[in-house]
Amino acid sequence: MSAPHELKLLRELSARLGANPLLVQASTGNTSVKVNGVLWIKASGKWLTQADHDDFLVPVELGAARSGDLTNVSSNGGSFNGGRCASIETAMHAVLPHAVVIHVHSVNVIAWAVRRDAERQLAVRLDGLRWQWIPYTPSGVPLAQRIEQAVFRARETNVLVLGNHGLVICADTCAAAEVLLAEVEERLRLEPRPTPGPAETPLLPAAPEAAWYLPRCSRVSALATDPHSRKILAGGVLYPCQAIFLPGTTPARDGTWTYGNHSGKQPFFLVEEQGVRISRHVTRAEFEILNGLAEVVQRIDSAAKLRYLEETEVRSVLDEGASSYRRTADPDYASAAAN
């Protein structure tokens, strides 16, 4: 097939993935296709729903990316081309031998991937598939190198579950990748835990009521009303995007949790056993990541022992270009920060 046709198929697949909030939230996830020695990959900060935009894909010379000196891909793991920066996962896409690679933040997969017994649980559910478990590794070059080593030992691998992160699917075509993704999703599908709705008269923040609203999604409200959800959140940060987009869900350094931390900079606040209030100024990206977090938390077994990101890992996520990435991925946030 010609490069234009391959890119058209990748754009169409990307748009379908981006339209499913159980697979992708805001700018998370990335897709790529290798054609004639060029890796075409989603631009950093772009949303998969923007797949029809001219600047959605960035071309990266595949030979250079695979040369072994992955640090040259760029300082943050992406690749700059024509003023655009490729996804931070460019190196990962490059080292995988398959023509098509898709990476999603599936809420079902993450609900498994944050468990301490994740590898054992997944081994039962993914039996018969050519899959591998990758313990949490920072995005960019470190993750690419770890995946390259894993795939070198088992070249038939086409499914990778990333601890505290998400899912990678590899295939020769976009159609085959989509079919394999659907099978993995079905095998790992979890029903959300039944949760109580918000209180009839939830506590109002110390701000004009018009500045806040109740979320329509009962799962978001359950972050405050469901004791199991509160316990899970209070334990720490489950995955990087939570730390980047939702700092209000990160416990203080002393391990305490302050429900109702509703300063003007907070996109939302939680009132224990009452509900969640969303700021009128919440950005679309913040809300999508919050909704995704709620979907993950309600799918985690309340009895499961969890593996949270360590403080050094959270610090690394926030130190490595998180601010510039967020400004690219969340234009509303960038505009507010500039005012």
Q: Please give the average per-residue pLDDT across 170-188, as a whole number.
A: 98
Q: How far is CA 199 from CA 43, 202, 212, 215, 225, in A?
A: 42, 5, 16, 12, 8
pLDDT at 70 over 50: no
Tell me what pLDDT residue 204 has: 52
Above 50 in pLDDT, residue 261?
Answer: no
Give the pLDDT band of residue 210 (cuts 50, 70, 90). low
Tell me, rounded to whole angstroms, the distance of Cα 312 from its chain centroid.
19
pLDDT attached to residue 71? 46
Tokens 């190196």, residue located:
91
- Average per-residue pLDDT for the chain: 86
**pLDDT for position 66:** 76
Alpha-carbon dihedral sign for residues 31, 107, 256, 267: positive
pLDDT of residue 319: 84
CB-count burial class (<10 Å; 0-12, 13-18, 19+) for 299: buried
Percentage of the chain exceeding pLDDT 70 = 83
Task: Give tens-digit pLDDT for 32-60.
Answer: 999 999 999 999 999 999 999 999 999 99
DSSP for 142-210 reads: HHHHHHHHHHHH-TT--EEEETTTEEEEEESSHHHHHHHHHHHHHHT--PPPP-----SSPPPPSS-GG
Please report the pLDDT score of residue 251 as a whole number. Answer: 47
Q: For 78-88, what is each residue's pLDDT tens digit? A: 454 545 688 88
Residue 52 backbone zone (phi > 0: left; psi -120 to 50: alpha; other: beta): alpha
Q: Percent of the chain, pLDDT > 90? A: 65
Q: What is the pLDDT of residue 207?
A: 52
Q: Is the pLDDT of residue 10 over 70?
A: yes
What is the third-level CATH fold of 3-187? L-fuculose-1-phosphate Aldolase (3.40.225)
Going by pLDDT thresholds of 50, 70 and 90, the confidence category of residue 212 is confident
Tell whether the model's pLDDT for residue 16 goes beyond 60: yes
Q: What pLDDT, in 10s, does the model give residues 265-311?
A: 677 877 788 888 888 889 999 999 999 999 999 999 999 999 999 99
Q: What is the mean pLDDT of residues 137-166?
A: 96
Q: CATH 3.40.225.10 spans which residues of the chain? A: 3-187
Beta bridge partners of 57: 42
Identify the helix (H) or strand (E) that includes residue 213. Answer: strand 212-213
Supply the pLDDT for residue 195.
80
pLDDT of res. 200: 61
Distance (Å, whole) CA 31 – CA 197: 36
pLDDT value at 167 more than 90: yes
Determine which helix (DSSP H) or strand (DSSP E) holds 279, and give its type and residue range: strand 275-279
Q: What integer pLDDT is reported at residue 218 of this predicted model? A: 82
pLDDT of residue 224: 87
